[in-house]
Amino acid sequence: MTGALSHMLTPAVVGYAEPWWMAILKSLVIFAIGLQLVPLVLMAERKILGRFQNRYGPNRVGPFGAMTPLADIVKLLTKESFRPRTAIGWLFTLAPILSIIAAVAALAIVPFGNVQDIFGTPVGFYGIDVSIGPLYVFAFGAVAFYGIMLGGWSSGSKYSFLGSMRAAAQLISYEVAQGMALVGVVITAQSMSLTEIVEGQGGMWYVIPQFVGFLIFMIASFAETNRPPFDLVEADGELVGGYMTEYGGGRFALYYFAEYLNVLVVSGLAVTLFLGGWMLPFGIHPPGWVDPFIVIGKMGLFVVFFIWVRATLPRLRYDQLMSFGWKVLLPLATLNALITAIVVVAWY
Amino acid sequence: MTWTPGPDQIEVVGGPSKAGGAGGLYRAFGETLRGLKTTFMQATEGVTTVQYPEEKIPVYPRFRGRHRLHTFEDTGLEKCVGCSLCAAACPSDCIRVVAAENTPENRVSAGERYAAVYEINLSRCIFCGYCEIACPFDAITMGHDYEMSDYNRSDLIFTKEMLLAEPLERTPLRAEGE
């Protein structure tokens, strides 16, 4: 019974069969670690952004301000959860939950290491290793977009509505370019399983042969995670706060959390697809338990880059955003995929 | 119908070229990198924040802070003779002086009279320093303290005893040549 159930629950597991309790255990561990990383990212963002602007950033709560996220959470969760009278109640409540579920689900696919032997049990250091890796991410990216869209729409406020409309246009446009950028990687690796893509980078990380794809993926990722310079969805200056204008307290915390979790997921994907995942350059082969730390370290590099770009670039105008996505990124990504395909077919 | 700019329209000569395509892409990429470099160099410059309650910017010697009343160093008598010229000079009318006669038994100041009451309402004071200029005996000067927040307006009325007392050295003074 349990065997059949586990087979039903994880139908797409490739590589090896893992017991059902292992899947639950792994999801708990990844959930716990991922959720610990989010406050760190939050803190890093505020601190590093401060340095870029010649100031300290938060440094009052705890040593070096390290307890600030904790204080933030306590503050947000003790606030009243109000909603506007014009809001659609159940959608208003559901939207942030959708948002965070999609973010956490996307985190499951980031591989932190290959299959290791722990006390005689083979354990893959990832939530799931589906044979359709990038598609899974895009599927949950689309669900996350529902979270934003419904949140803005059900708020019953004009600014929220404008924000969610922008989100709709922006996320759809850039998801296309992002997907096309990944096609090059998938063609080169000749697999859509993320662990196999990482294994395929043993000789050379894909950031070198797929540099154009990497750039497009990064730019599209900024747009997908609503980070500056593509933060038109929030655009504090124009839209007050975009889709989350009417949210406060715990629900706002969920949105905020999902946003930073998305940054982590995108960083993890970039590491997996372009920076060789858990591999180190120059032929260094550390023991297997180091792998997750390597992946998290590389993710940290990307997070710092995200913050750096936020400190540097101003927000795009809406028409510039659209023309950049459709007229520059998409043709470039398509060209990249085409050339990669031709090269791969000609060489192999 | 196309819009034709009048003769007062100026053609921008040195503006960015409108050529797009590969050249524009390359230029945008380069400019982005230049922007990233700019912010990075800014980050290496360090922090300019002064963490105020812990760090204080030293004041200049002629800084006009909270007033002080003075006494003679040798005799210990108050310099103020209760002439009320400071109160007359005060544009915001925040000084109140009530004078009384010195007697041989009770000699407070060096002159004929002394200030029995000397109050400055610091919630009204604008720190212009006219009182200091008006004083014929240099009895009142502007000190260096500027931290005078309080919870009560009535607590901001400084009495003679408070103004005469040695101030807590709360404000760093700028060193010579700093």
- pLDDT at residue A5 in the model: 41
- pLDDT at residue B130 in the model: 92
Look up residue B4 and give its two tokens: 């034709």
- pLDDT at residue B125 in the model: 92
- pLDDT at residue A112 in the model: 82
Instruction: Give phi and psi for A68, each to the nearest 5.
Output: -55, -45
The DSSP-derived string for A120-162 is TEEEESSS---TTHHHHHHHHHHHHHHHHHHHHHHTT-HHHHH
Nearest-Cα distance to chain A for B35, in Å, is 6
- pLDDT at residue B5 in the model: 65
Out of A53, A56, A312, whose CB is closest to B35?
A312
Beta carbons of A146 and A98 less than 8 angstroms apart: yes
Residue B25 has pLDDT above 80, yes or no: no
Which of A47, A48, A49, A51 to mutate against chain B (most B CBs within 10 Å)?
Answer: A51
HSE-up of A137 (CA within 13 Å, CB side)?
A: 28
Cβ distance of A312 and B47 shorter than 8 Å = no
* Residues in CB range of B58: below 8 A, 6 or more apart: B171, B172, B173, B174, B175, B178
**Chain A residue nearest residue B43, CA to CA:** A52
**Residues on chain B touching A56 (C-beta within 8 angstroms):** 47, 49, 51
Look up residue A56 and give its two tokens: 């300290």
Question: Measured at the alpha carbon of residue B25, what is the angle toward residues A337 and A316, in degrees to the nearest 5?
Answer: 100
The structure's pTM equals: 0.77
Instruction: Give phi and psi for A278, each to the nearest 5.
Output: -90, 10
Helix (H, G, I), strand (E, B) or coil at A315: coil
Complex ipTM more than 0.95, yes or no:
no
Q: Give the model's confidence band at B98: pLDDT under 50 very low, under 70 low, under 90 confident, else very high.
A: very high
- pLDDT at residue B19 in the model: 58
Which option is the CATH number for B67-164: 1.10.3720.10, 3.40.30.10, 3.40.50.10420, 3.30.70.3270? Answer: 3.30.70.3270
Spell out where chain B has E strands. 67-69, 95-101, 113-121, 140-142, 157-158
Pick B44 or A17 by higher pLDDT.
Answer: B44
Q: Is residue A39 part of a domain?
A: yes
Look up residue B79 and give its two tokens: 């310099």
Q: Is residue A77 part of a domain?
A: no
Helix (H, G, I), strand (E, B) or coil at B99: strand
Q: Is residue A69 part of a domain?
A: no
- pLDDT at residue B134 in the model: 92
Cβ distance of A51 and B43 shorter than 8 Å = yes
- How many Å apart are CA A337 and CA A242, to the nearest integer? 34
Q: Is residue A95 part of a domain?
A: yes
- pLDDT at residue B88 in the model: 92
Out of A48, A56, A308, whose CB is closest to B47?
A56
Q: Determine the average pLDDT of the residues in B48-67.
A: 86
Pick A125 or B132 by higher pLDDT.
Answer: B132
Q: Is residue A302 part of a domain?
A: yes
Query: Which DSSP helix (H) or strand (E) runs through A115?
Result: strand A115-118
Q: Is residue A19 part of a domain?
A: no
Q: Is residue A91 part of a domain?
A: yes
**Residues on chain A touching B51 (C-beta within 8 angstroms):** 56
Domain span including residue A246: 30-56+82-347
Q: How many domains does chain A have?
A: 1
Cβ distance of A54 and B36 shorter than 8 Å = no
By a Cβ cutoff of 8 Å, what residues of chain A touch chain B? Answer: 48, 50-56, 308-309, 311-313, 328
Helix (H, G, I), strand (E, B) or coil at B66: coil
Say whether the peptide bond before residue A84 is cis (omega within 30 degrees of 0).
no
- How many Å apart are CA B9 and CA B49, to the nearest integer? 46
Cβ distance of B48 and A328 shorter than 8 Å = no
Look up residue A111 and give its two tokens: 């591989």
Tell me the C-alpha to C-alpha distance, in Å, between residue B91 and each of A312, B64, B126, B140, B148.
49, 16, 8, 16, 20
Q: Is residue A4 part of a domain?
A: no
Query: Which DSSP helix (H) or strand (E) runs through A247?
Result: none
* Residues in CB range of B141: below 8 A, 6 or more apart: B67, B68, B70, B132
Binned average pLDDT, 10 residues per bin, chain A of 348 residues: 40 56 81 84 89 88 84 87 82 88 86 74 74 84 84 84 85 86 85 81 80 88 85 75 80 86 89 84 75 86 90 84 85 89 83
Out of B32, B35, B45, whose CB is closest to A54?
B45
By a Cβ cutoff of 8 Å, what residues of chain B touch chain A? Answer: 25, 32, 35-36, 38-40, 42-43, 45-49, 51
**Residues on chain A touching B35 (C-beta within 8 angstroms):** 312-313
